Amino acid sequence: MTSVITTRTRETAPTERTRRNRWSTGRLLRRLPWWLIALVLLGGALLWVYPFLWMLSASLKDNIEVFSSSLSLLPESAVFENYGRAWSDANFSGYMWNTIIVTVVTVVLVVIRCAMAGYVIGRYGFFGKKTVVVVLVATLFVPTGYTIIPVVDITQQLGLLNSLTGMIIALSGGGHVAAILLYAGYFRQVPRELEESATVDGAGFFTIFLRIMLPLAKPITATVTLLTFLSTWNAFFLPLVFTFSRPDLRTLSVGMQAFVGENTTDWAGMAAAATISLVPVIVLFVVLQRRFVEGFAGAIKQ
Amino acid sequence: MSSAITGHQDLLSAPDARRSRSRRLGRQQLWIWLLLTPTVVLYGLYTVYPVIASYWYSFVEWNGFESQKRFVGLQNFRDVFADDLFWNSFKVTLLFMVVVVPLKVILSLLLAIVLNSPKLPFSTLLRTAYFLPVVTTTAIVGVVMQFVFDPASGPANQLLRTFGVSEGVNFLGDSSTALWTAAGVYVWKWFGITMIYWLAALQTIPDEVYEAARMDGAGALRLLRHITLPLLRPFLIIITLLSLESSLRVFDLVLTLTGGGPFYSTEVVEIYIYRWAFSATIPQLGYASAAAVIFGLFVFFVGLFQLLGIRSVQRARAAS
């Protein structure tokens, strides 16, 4: 720890010499503790992503190889038939399709309903506003395990149990209070003059919302889209309970559970199925990393 | 369009203006409620109603969604309270929370402090790696981890054997280790999110504060102790409470990792409810609802505690 202190204090007053020689020995030596820390952390990071690397490698091995030498990550020769087995035999193509439909429609519904609710809550006083806000905040942390029985009961009574429609409505209906609060917080600080001048120009209530306010809130929409995408793609409890008697409607997460229940010894197939299910979110994360981080960090800054 | 017309009338005559103004406000109220309708209907149906309905369901005997409900009064609650396995699930939930939250909050703070330094090489790469598990599907990760910790051929045990540490641990199959393994997987899975919270918190501290302290001759350790940590204290409360709340929601992970076993050693309350409502041969929905109501009240009080904590933090911040 002492070495860290010295680097800090010396770094604070950079002399002419260090500025001239970026790569001088003294500077490198002072940076050494940080390189050591980075090395340790890189080791930790490797351990951190190891389960995914193992999964990827197991998906390219045949089952005998997975059982015998699972420590070596490189397969002797890449076997792609595991993917074929998971994709068509185990119906992961169907599960993928279900997941995409459910996720896309849910995201659209959530963005629309949360933007509208956030807009009026953040910008207008109205009769019953306090009640609405109190109810939303009070139920912010209600766990799925608590509400699942009435939710199934309602969906059953609506005749929507065992259908993707029912799943979508339930997923977009419950929760997402944070998205409403995000929108409300954003719309609250948009200056009044904006809609006053629009009113003078003859724009009505809904036109102002749709043409002026919603485009302004693009960063919030991006965050809400991303977070809702993630929570819906990864949802498990509700899709599980909603598809008990309709295996063809399973989403990826539920299909995975069923797959290992039926094929306990097909490790390579399991790994391929898991890879198929995880690749979309991981690719999205790597591409939109900054947005992800900002989206999650936004929650704490409020 | 109509608002533009009323705008002109405002200029023309006063009494007319007042009437059209109230009409405009009335129309505005209509629009407001129209925009709220989807949320009120959906959220009401799928969150607010279930919260209330659970109370009614907890007073009935109800063996399956298609069958009749029969009012039994407090019988369900009496049965739940008399069931040792319910108390076991409550204990498991609490134990899980108490182990997981400090581990996650403290370790991620340490990592965030190091990652926040501009002198650390590869900090973006490191942040990505440690955050990666957060975005992945919990239920799938649970299944994969079941194989990673397999007693015979799982890589975790192969590693232990290669280094000669042990002859193999049945991480998930032994009731003395299963909960700790699940807790470890949970910390691994959600560690990245608290790390991001902490990084966001660290970025709220302006550089000038550090510079001023360095001018006064403070070293890194003293900066950490006297500036960083005190300024992070309000965030500590928020982050801890957020972590407490999310550690109560582990259904996906536990169901796919262990299914609550072996011998109920990892059965958290949500799994207990699920077992009675959905995986019993004769579903006991009323009984499960009673357990859910008790659990819901518990979560509510943790949440209330949380809001009070945040409120007091905000007040302290406003005062300073």
Interchain CB distance below 8 Å, B51 and A144: no
In a domain, A299, yes or no: no
| Domain coverage including residue A26 | 2-84
Q: Give yes or no: residues A120 and A135 share one domain.
A: yes
Interchain CB distance below 8 Å, A139 and B48: yes
DSSP B70: E
Per-residue pLDDT reduced to its tens digit, B30-88: 888 899 999 999 999 998 999 888 888 899 888 877 778 888 888 889 988 988 999 99
Local confidence band at B14 (pLDDT 50, 70, 90 cut-offs)? low
pLDDT at position B185 is: 95
Domain boundary among A84, A112, A137: A84
- Three-state SS at A175: coil
Reported residue count of chain A is 302
Determine the average pLDDT of the residues in B293-317: 80
CA of A233 vs chain B CAs: smallest distance (Å): 7
Query: Chain A 30-89, CB below 8 Å of chain B: which residues?
Result: 31, 34-35, 37-38, 41-42, 44-46, 48-52, 54-55, 58, 66-68, 70-71
Domain boundary among A84, A118, A153: A84
CATH value at residue A137: 1.10.3720.10
Residue of B28 and A16 predicted with greater confidence? B28
Q: Comparing C-alpha atoms, which of A147, A295, A286, A163 is closest to residue A221?
A: A295
Local confidence band at A3 (pLDDT 50, 70, 90 cut-offs)? very low
Give CA–CA dist A156/A172, Å, rounded. 17
In a domain, A244, yes or no: yes
Percentage, residues of chain A above pLDDT 90: 23
Query: Chain A 109-138, CB below 8 Å of chain B: which residues?
Result: 109, 112-114, 116-117, 119-121, 124, 126-127, 132, 135-137
Kindly tell me if the per-residue pLDDT of A46 is higher than 50: yes
pLDDT at position A193 is: 83
- Residue A155 Cα to chain centre, angstroms: 26
Kindly tell me if the per-residue pLDDT of A4 is higher than 50: no
Residue of A259 and A105 predicted with greater confidence? A105
In a domain, A292, yes or no: no
- Give the mutation candidate from A149, A237, A293 for the B interface (greatest B CB count, under 10 A): A149
Residue of A262 and A167 predicted with greater confidence? A167
Local confidence band at A69 (pLDDT 50, 70, 90 cut-offs)? low
Residue of B238 and B179 predicted with greater confidence? B179
Quick check: A152 contacting B, CB < 8 Å? yes
Percentage, residues of chain B above pLDDT 90: 27
- Three-state SS at B249: coil
Q: Give yes or no: residues A94 and A228 share one domain.
A: yes
Q: Give yes or no: residues A55 and A137 share one domain.
A: no
Residue for token digits 């990673």?
Answer: B148
pLDDT at position A1 is: 33
Which of A143-147, A177-181, B240-244 shows the lowest mean pLDDT across its residues?
A: A143-147
Give CA–CA dist B121/A55, Å, rounded. 28
Tokens of B252: 């996906």
In a domain, A23, yes or no: yes
The angle formed by the CA atoms of residues B38, A280 and B104, to the nearest 5 degrees, is 80
Domain boundary among A84, A99, A124: A84
Kindly tell me if the per-residue pLDDT of A93 is higher than 50: yes
Check: complex ipTM more than 0.90: no
Give CA–CA dist B212/A120, Å, rounded. 44
In a domain, A203, yes or no: yes
Structural domains in chain A (count)? 2
Per-residue pLDDT reduced to its tens digit, A177-196: 888 988 998 998 888 888 78
Select the residue of A55, A149, A174 nearest B144 (Cβ to Cβ).
A55
Local confidence band at A7 (pLDDT 50, 70, 90 cut-offs)? very low
Q: Give yes or no: residues A35 and A184 share one domain.
A: no
In a domain, A234, yes or no: yes
φ, ψ of residue B252 in degrees (nearest 5): -55, -50
Kindly tell me if the per-residue pLDDT of A167 is higher than 90: yes
Interchain CB distance below 8 Å, B33 and A126: yes
Q: Give yes or no: residues A191 and A107 share one domain.
A: yes
Q: Give yes or no: residues A201 and A237 share one domain.
A: yes
Q: Give yes or no: residues A62 and A95 share one domain.
A: no
Interchain CB distance below 8 Å, B135 and A230: yes
- Three-state SS at B60: strand
Q: Give yes or no: residues A72 and A122 share one domain.
A: no
Query: Chain A 190-249, CB below 8 Å of chain B: which residues?
Result: 199-206, 209, 230, 233-234, 236-237, 241, 244
Q: Give yes or no: residues A75 and A179 share one domain.
A: no
Per-residue pLDDT reduced to its tens digit, B177-200: 899 999 999 999 999 999 999 998
Residue of A80 and A116 predicted with greater confidence? A116
Q: Give yes or no: residues A59 and A108 share one domain.
A: no
Do B238 and B201 contact (CB within 8 A), yes or no? no
Q: Give yes or no: residues A12 and A151 share one domain.
A: no
In a domain, A268, yes or no: no
Distances (CA, A) of B172 to A68, B5, B11, B83, B178: 21, 72, 77, 25, 4
In a domain, A291, yes or no: no
Domains and CATH numbers, chain B: 2-57 (no CATH), 83-319 (1.10.3720.10)
Do A280 and B164 contact (CB within 8 A), yes or no? no
Which residues in chain B touch residue A256, judged by CB atoms under 8 angstroms apart? 139-140, 143, 256
Q: Comparing C-alpha atoms, which of B144, B40, B83, B134 is closest to residue B291?
A: B83
Determine the average pLDDT of the residues in A226-248: 89
Give CA–CA dist B39/A136, Å, rounded. 10
Which residue of chain A has the CA closest to B25?
Answer: A126
pLDDT at position A13 is: 46
Kindly tell me if the per-residue pLDDT of B7 is higher than 50: no
Q: Give yes or no: residues A137 and A198 share one domain.
A: yes
pLDDT at position B301 is: 85
